[in-house]
Chain A
Amino acid sequence: MKRTLRFQRKYLCIPYVIFLILFILLPILLIIFYAFTDKDGFFSAQALIDFFSTPTKVSILINSVFIALQTTILCLIIAYPLAYFLADKKINRNGVLITLFIMPMWINFVLRTGATRDLLTWLGVNGGRTPYLATLIGMVYNFIPFTILPLYTTMLKLDKSQIEAASDLGATPTQVFIKNIIPQSLPGVASAATMVFMPTMSSYVISDTLSEGKITLFGNSIYISFSNSQWNTGSFLALIMLIIIFLSMLATRRFSREPEVRGGTW
C-alpha cells in the first residue's frame, strides 16, 4: 500500500514539471536556436560574427557593466551601514523600519521611475546634460530595497558571541568590524550584489526614461534588435546575457547558499 502512496505524492509535481519544460526550458532552447540560424532557419554564425566585429555592441556591453558596477557599489555603500543599524534591536525595535524600506517596492516600478525623473527635473538634474548622474540615481533608487533585504537578513544572523569574544579579547571596534563583521556578512553582500548587478544591466526602462535616450544599456540593445525585427541578432544578445547570468551565478554560489533572498520580502 505504501508504494502506491508514494507514487501519488510524487506525481503531484507533474503539472509543475510540464510547465517548467514548456515555458522555461523550451523558450531558452528556441533562443539558442535562433541565435545560431539565419532568417530562413539555416545554421549561421552571422549573429556571432556581427557581435564581435561591431565595436558598438561590445562597447554597449562594457558600458552596461560599468553602470551596473557603479549601481552595485553605490547600493552596497548606502545599504550596508543601513542594514547594520537596522539589525540592531535597540534601533529597530520590532522590524517596522525594515518594512518601511521595502514599501516603495509595492508602488508600481514604472510609476516610481517616472516620479524619480520628474523629481530630478524639478531639482534641475537633467538627463540630457548629465545622463550618467540621472541614470545612476534612478538605478540606485530603484534597486536599493533589493540590497537592503539580503544584507539585513545576514546582519540578523551575525554571530554575536563571536563579536563579543573578539572585543573581549581586546580587538578595537575597527578590528572587530574588519576581521569579524565583514567576513561574516560576505554572503549577504554577494547575494545583494547579484540582486542589483544583473537587473541593472538588463533593464531598459530606467535608462531610457532618465537619460533622455543617451545611455544605451544591454537591455535596450536587445529590445531594439527585437523591435526592428532582427530576431537572430536579438536572440544572440539574449544568449550572451544568459551566459553572463550563468557565470555570475557560478561565481556567487560559493558565497551564498540561499538564492531565495528575494523570497525574504515577506
Chain B
Amino acid sequence: MVKKIFANIYIYLILFLMYLPILLLVVFSFTESANIGVWTGFSFDLFPRLFQSHEIMVALGNTIIIALISSIVSVLLGTLGAIGTFYSKKRSKRAIEAVTQIPVVNAEIVMALSLTVLFVFLGTYIFRTSIFSFFTLLIGHVCLSLPFVYLSVKPKLQQMDPNLYEAAMDLGCTPRIALFKAVIPQIIPGVISGFLLSMTLSLDDFIVSAFLRGPGLLSGDKSIETLSTLVQAKIKKGPIPPELRALTTILFLLILTAIIVITIYRNHFARNSGIKRKLRRMKNGVR
C-alpha cells in the first residue's frame, strides 16, 4: 500500500515536471503579454493572431506536407525493402541490415552534414547548379525515418505464416495479387506503426531541415521554413513569440484528444476481446 502511494506520488510528480514548460505556454496563451510570467488579463486574442500570422501558417503547412510526403515515401521504400530483404539470401540480408542500422544510431548532425556534403558535391560537379530544394529536404527526412519503417515491418514478416503466400499462389493468384492479398494485410500493423513513427520523426526534426532545405513548397521561391527552423530563429532572439504559445495550446489539445481516443478505443477493444474470451471459455465449458 505504502509502495503504491509512493509510486503514484513519484509518477505524477515526474509527469507534472515534464509537462510544466508546456503547461506554462498553454496557460500564458490566454494572455497577450510579450513575456511568460506577466499576466495582462485573460484574452483569446492570440488565437486569431496565430491564424493571421502568414509566417507561422506557411511554416506549419510546410511541416505537415513534408511529414506526410516523407512518411509515404519512407513507408513505400521501407516496406518493399523489408519484404525484398526478407526473401533475400542470408549474406545480402545481413549487409542490408547492417547499413539500415547506420541511420538509427547515427547522430543527426553527422547525417545532415554528410548529406549536405553530398548535395553540394553533386551540385558543383554534376548538376552545375544548386540542387537544394524540396527534394533534398525530402531525401533528408526519408533517411531519418526509413530504417524505422524497415524495423517495424520486419518483425511482422517474421511472424507471418510463410505458407500463406505460396497458398495464395497455389489458389491461382498472380504474384502481384498474392503479395497484395496475402502478404500486405499481414504486415499492415507494422506498416502503420512505421508510418506514424516516420511522421513523428519528421515533425520533430530540426537539424536535418536546417541543413538541407532549399526553396520550394509553400515558401515559394524562398527557403522552405518549417516549424522547427522558424521557432529556432525566433527563440534565438528572445522568448517564444506569443502566437506560438497559442499554437502550443492547439497542438497540446490535439495530442491530448488523440490520446483519449486511443485509450477509449483500446479499452473498448480490450473489453470486447475479454468478452469474446469469456464466451469462448463458456462454450468450451459447455462442451
A259 touches which of B8, B87, B101, B270 (Cβ 8 Å): B101
Residues of B69-103 contacting chain A, CB below 8 A:
77-78, 80-85, 87-88, 96, 99-103
Cβ-defined contact, A114 with B4, below 8 A: no
> Is the CB–CB distance between B14 and A122 below 8 Å?
no
Q: Are A122 and B36 within 8 A (Cβ)?
A: yes
Chain A interface, DSSP helix/strand/loop, else mixed: helix
Q: Is the CB of B118 within 8 A of A26?
A: yes
Proximity string of chain A (1-27) to chain B, C-beta cutoff 8 Å, 1 when within and 0 when not:
000011011111111110111011111
A205 & B232 in contact (Cβ 8 Å cutoff): yes
Q: Is residue A107 contacting chain B, with contact meaning CB distance below 8 A?
A: yes
Are A260 and B15 in contact (CB-based, < 8 A)? no
- Chain A 201-241, CB-CB to B under 8 Å as 1, else 0, gives 11111000100000000010011001000010011001001
A115-B11 contact, Cβ under 8 Å, with A9-B175, A223-B109: no
With a CB–CB cut-off of 8 A, which chain B residues contact A238? 109-110, 113-114
Residues on A with beta carbons closer than 8 Å to the beta carbon of B121: 30
Select A101's contact among B15, B37, B109, B197, beta carbons within 8 Å. B15
- Partner among A23, A111, A263 whose Cβ is within 8 Å of the Cβ of B197: A263
- Distance between Cα atoms of A97 and B263 in the complex (Å): 10
- Among B40-48, B203-211, B215-223, B276-284, the one that faces the other chain is B203-211
B interface, by DSSP: helix, strand, loop or mixed? helix
Q: Is B266 an interface residue (CB 8 A)?
A: yes
Tell me if A165 is interfacial: C-beta within 8 Å of chain B: no
Q: A82-B11, A263-B197 are in contact. Are A119 and B81 (CB under 8 A)?
A: no
In the complex, chain B residues whose CB is within 8 Å of the CB of A122: 24, 36-37
Q: Within the assembled complex, what's the spacing in Å between the Cα atoms of A150 and B111?
A: 24
Quick one: which of A5, A25, A260 contacts B152, CB cutoff 8 A? A260
Check A30–B18 contact: CB distance below 8 A: no
Cβ–Cβ < 8 Å partners of A101 in chain B: 14-15, 18
A112 on the B face (CB < 8 A): yes
CB nearest neighbor in B for A81: B10
Residues of B within 8 A of A259 (CB): 101, 104-105, 151
Q: Is the CB of A20 within 8 A of B11?
A: no
Please tell me which one of the listed residues B24, B80, B169, B193 contacts residue A5 in the complex, with CB atoms under 8 A apart: B169
Partner of A115, one of B10, B21, B193: B21
Tell me which residues across on chain A come within 8 A of B129, comparing CB atoms.
Answer: none
- Given known A-B contacts A96-B259, A99-B263, A106-B200, A119 and B20 have beta carbons under 8 A apart: yes
Query: In chain B between 1 and 59, which residues have their CB closer than 8 angstroms to a CB of chain A?
Result: 4, 7-8, 10-11, 14-15, 18-22, 24-25, 36-37
Interface centre among A20, A100, A109, A242 (most CB of B within 10 A): A20
**CB-based nearest A residue for B38:** A122
Compute how far the CA of A145 lies from the CA of B78 in the bound complex, rounded to whole angstroms. Answer: 25
Closest Cβ neighbor of B232 among chain A residues: A110
B126 within 8 A of A: no
Residues of B within 8 A of A36 (CB): none
CB B256 to nearest CB in A, in angstroms, measures 8
Give the A-B pair count, Cβ closer than 8 A.
Answer: 257
| CB atoms of B235 and A94 under 8 A apart | no
Closest-CB distance, A144 to chain B (whole angstroms): 7
A104-128 near B? 1/0 per residue, CB < 8 Å: 1111111111111111011000000
A86 touches B270 (CB 8 A): no
- Chain B's closest residue to A107 (CB) is B251
User: Are B110 and A242 in contact (CB-based, < 8 A)?
Assistant: yes
User: Does any Cβ of B come within 8 Å of A163's Cβ?
Assistant: no
* Interface contact A265-B200, CB-CB below 8 Å: yes
Q: Are B105 and A249 in contact (CB under 8 A)?
A: yes
For B110, list chain A residues within 8 Å (CB). Answer: 31, 202, 222, 238, 241-242, 245
* B247 / chain A contacts, CB cutoff of 8 Å: 111
Residue contact A10 to B84, C-beta cutoff 8 Å: yes
- Complex: chain B residue closest to A252, CB-CB: B105
Complex Cα distance, B175 from A37, in Å, reads 50
A265 and B117 contact, CB distance less than 8 A: no
Q: Do the beta carbons of A114 and B235 come within 8 Å of each other?
A: yes
Task: Return A203 CB to nearest CB of chain B, in Å.
Answer: 8
Q: Does B231 contact A (CB under 8 A)?
A: yes
Taking a contact as CB atoms under 8 Å apart, the answer to whether A24 and B255 are in contact is no
B106 touches A245 (CB 8 A): yes
Contacts of A20 in B (CB 8 A): 96, 99-100, 146
Q: Does B143 contact A (CB under 8 A)?
A: yes
A-B contact pairs, 16 of them (CB 8 A): A9-B87, A17-B96, A27-B111, A31-B110, A31-B113, A31-B117, A99-B259, A106-B255, A111-B247, A119-B20, A194-B105, A199-B108, A238-B114, A241-B107, A241-B109, A249-B105
Apart from the given pairs A12-B81, A12-B83, A222-B110, 6 other A-B contacts in the complex at a CB distance below 8 Å = A95-B266, A101-B14, A104-B19, A106-B200, A118-B21, A209-B235
Which 5 residue pairs spanning A and B have beta carbons closest together?
Answer: A13-B84, A16-B81, A27-B114, A202-B107, A12-B84
